[in-house]
Amino acid sequence: METQQIPTGYMADGVGRLVPLESIKEVDLVRNGLVIELMKRAETVSQLLVECKKSSMEDIQAFVELSAEKYGANLGGKVGNVTLTSYDGKFKIVRSMDDFLRFDERLQAAKALIDDCLSRWSDGSGKELRTIVLDAFQVDKAGRINTKRVLSLRKYDFDDEMWKHAMQAISDSIQVESSKAYVRFYQRDAKGDYQQLNLNIAA
């Protein structure tokens, strides 16, 4: 898409029409200048944050590899998750990797097995369990199932082979759709508690 060339002495309005400067109210000109100036500042800060995250991730990964190779240190629990602290404990940096999950077609098999269980248990299972189970399989406006609700069903350890098969089908159906890396910075306050450094301008 080509950028519209604005002739000298004109400004484009919201629908692209050229308006002579002398026809524009002063308050509109001042507002326009303010918005553009603040936007430029925000874009600069945004780029700095992007560069900060990128360089921090690279430096953390380089240290993890160096430590594992040279010192044999175990810095993480879950793969990708690392916590680094300064020697005095005043500062802490956390790198975390969050997986975004989805279910494959085996979830439908699990749902069928669960439906069968609920039918067999209808006399003694109670409305509460049925509500919890059915709610777990509800989809949102985008047609997606809430993974946390479905996975929460696995905490119910019923002594029923079909239920156990359903829970196994749920576990087998889990697929990692994507992963996202986060880095968070913390500093101890006067009470000794870690407070996260706020890098979110909206907050």
| Range scoring the smallest mean pLDDT among 106-110, 118-122, 126-130, 194-198 | 126-130
Query: In this structure, are 57 and 98 located in the same domain?
Result: no
- The predicted model gives 75-79 an average pLDDT of 50
Q: How many domains does the chain have?
A: 2
Last residue of a domain, one of 38, 54, 75: 75
Q: Which residue has the higher pLDDT, 23 or 133?
A: 23
Query: In this structure, are 71 and 82 located in the same domain?
Result: no
Tell me the per-residue pLDDT of 111-126, one tens digit each, with 9 for 90 and over. 888 888 887 776 655 6
Query: In this structure, are 145 and 194 located in the same domain?
Result: yes
Confirm whether pTM is higher than 0.85. no
**Under 8 Å between Cβ of 117 and 160:** yes
Does the pLDDT of residue 40 top 90, yes or no? yes
Tell me the per-residue pLDDT of 42-61, one tens digit each, with 9 for 90 and over. 999 999 998 999 999 999 98
Query: In this structure, are 11 and 69 located in the same domain?
Result: yes
Query: In this structure, are 120 and 203 located in the same domain?
Result: yes
61-85 b/e with 16+ CB inside 10 Å = b? eeebeeeeeeeeeeeeeeeeebeee
Query: In this structure, are 87 and 62 located in the same domain?
Result: no
- The predicted model gives 1-30 an average pLDDT of 86
Query: In this structure, are 58 and 157 located in the same domain?
Result: no
Domain that holds residue 201: 77-203
What pLDDT is recorded for position 137?
Answer: 82
Three-state secondary structure call for residue 3: coil
Query: In this structure, are 11 and 32 located in the same domain?
Result: yes
Last residue of a domain, one of 49, 75, 101: 75
Query: In this structure, are 70 and 119 located in the same domain?
Result: no
Three-state secondary structure call for residue 122: coil
Query: In this structure, are 58 and 129 located in the same domain?
Result: no
Does the pLDDT of residue 96 top 70, yes or no? yes
Query: In this structure, are 99 and 177 located in the same domain?
Result: yes
Dist CA 53 CA 16 (whole Å):
37
- The predicted model gives 130-158 an average pLDDT of 79
What pLDDT is recorded for position 199?
Answer: 83
Does the pLDDT of residue 194 top 90, yes or no? yes
Does the pLDDT of residue 159 top 90, yes or no? no
The band of 79, judged by pLDDT with boundaries at 50, 70 and 90, is low
Last residue of a domain, one of 75, 103, 130: 75
Query: In this structure, are 9 and 90 located in the same domain?
Result: no
